Every structure is written in C-alpha cells, then in structure tokens.
C-alpha cells in the first residue's frame, strides 16, 4: 500500500513537470512569433527564463541592443530600444492612440505597470495609459 502511494505521488510530480515543460515551450513559441513580427530585422542574442517571476518570466536581448521582458503567458511587459520600434508591438488601444496622435513616431520604451502603462516616444513625448489602454497623461 505504501509503495503504491509513493509511486502515485512520484507519477503526479512527473506529470506536473511534463505539463510545465509543454507550457514553457508553447510560450517560447509565442514569444518567437511575436519577435519575428515586431523585431524581424534582429536576432535573439540571449534569452533568460525565470518562471518564478510571473511578471518578467522571460528576458530577451536582441542583436540591436533592445531588451524585452515577457510575462509567463508570453505578453511583453517591458521593451527598451535605442533604435525604436513601431506601436503595433503594443496593446491594441495604445497602438491605435499612437498611430492616430503620433503618426510615424517610433517608441523607445514601454513598461506595463500594475495600474497601467508607460510609453516614451522617439520625439521625447512621455505618455501614461490606464489599465484599459486609455491615455491618462501626456508630457512633451
């Protein structure tokens, strides 16, 4: 009886580890797709995975020096780029606002915060958005 309990426990742990590995692979694939869509001219130089950190589980460094952090679900939480990137890499409401009000201006920095988002543009404008992606503050 005791052997069966131990064996069942070990099999449960093994099954959980397999599930985690599949999830990590799926998220990594989603990140690769996102990077190929938004940083297609760059290559991944380094990728660090820390699944204990729910907010910044994946840290990626690109060949142009850009640094991108993703949460455990594969959504970008922080992007820093000296060359800049197009707003389409950001949540839809934010991208729409930037494309309407700051057309043809690249983004240098994006950070997801607990209560919203911070964005810095190549023209020096800094913006804060609420958690729904609605502009809260804009400083030129």
How many CA atoms are closer than 13 Å to the CA of 90, on its beta-carbon side?
Answer: 32
- How far is Cα 80 from Cα 62, in angstroms, rounded to an integer? 10
pLDDT value at residue 51: 74
CA–CA distance from 58 to each of 21, 49, 65 (Å)?
A: 14, 5, 16
pLDDT value at residue 3: 43
pLDDT value at residue 52: 77
- How far is Cα 105 from Cα 91, in angstroms, rounded to an integer? 16
SS3 letters across 58-80: EEEEECCCCEEEECCCCCEEEEE
Instruction: Report CA Rg, the chain.
Output: 19
Pair 91, 130: CB distance under 8 Å:
no
- How far is Cα 117 from Cα 105, in angstroms, rounded to an integer? 18
> For every one of its 140 residues, what pLDDT tens digit does the chain have, with 9 covering 90 and above?
544 434 333 334 333 443 444 355 666 888 999 999 999 999 889 988 887 767 778 999 999 999 999 998 889 999 999 999 999 999 999 999 999 999 999 999 999 999 999 999 999 999 999 999 999 888 87
- How far is Cα 38 from Cα 55, in angstroms, rounded to an integer? 20
Residue 70 pairs in a beta bridge with 58, 76
pLDDT value at residue 139: 87
pLDDT value at residue 14: 38
- Return the closest-CA partner of residue 69 out of 81, 83, 55: 55
Asked whether the whole model's pTM tops 0.95, one would answer no
| Candidates 2.60.40.10, 3.40.1420.30, 3.30.565.10, 3.40.50.2300; CATH matching 2-139 | 3.40.1420.30
pLDDT value at residue 23: 53
Q: Is 103 helix (H, G, I), strand (E, B) or coil?
A: coil
């Amino acid at each position: 009886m005791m052997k069966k309990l131990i064996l069942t426990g070990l099999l449960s742990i093994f099954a959980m580890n397999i599930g985690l590995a599949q999830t990590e692979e799926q998220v990594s694939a989603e990140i690769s797709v996102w990077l190929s869509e938004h940083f297609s001219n760059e290559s991944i130089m380094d990728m660090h995975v820390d699944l204990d950190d729910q907010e910044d589980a994946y840290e990626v460094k690109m060949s142009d020096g850009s640094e991108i952090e993703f949460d455990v679900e594969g959504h970008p939480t922080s992007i820093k780029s000296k060359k800049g990137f197009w707003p389409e890499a950001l949540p839809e409401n934010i991208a729409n606002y930037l494309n309407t009000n700051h057309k043809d201006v690249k983004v240098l920095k994006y950070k997801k915060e607990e209560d919203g988002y911070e964005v810095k543009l190549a023209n020096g404008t800094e913006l804060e958005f609420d958690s729904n992606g609605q502009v809260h503050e804009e400083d030129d």
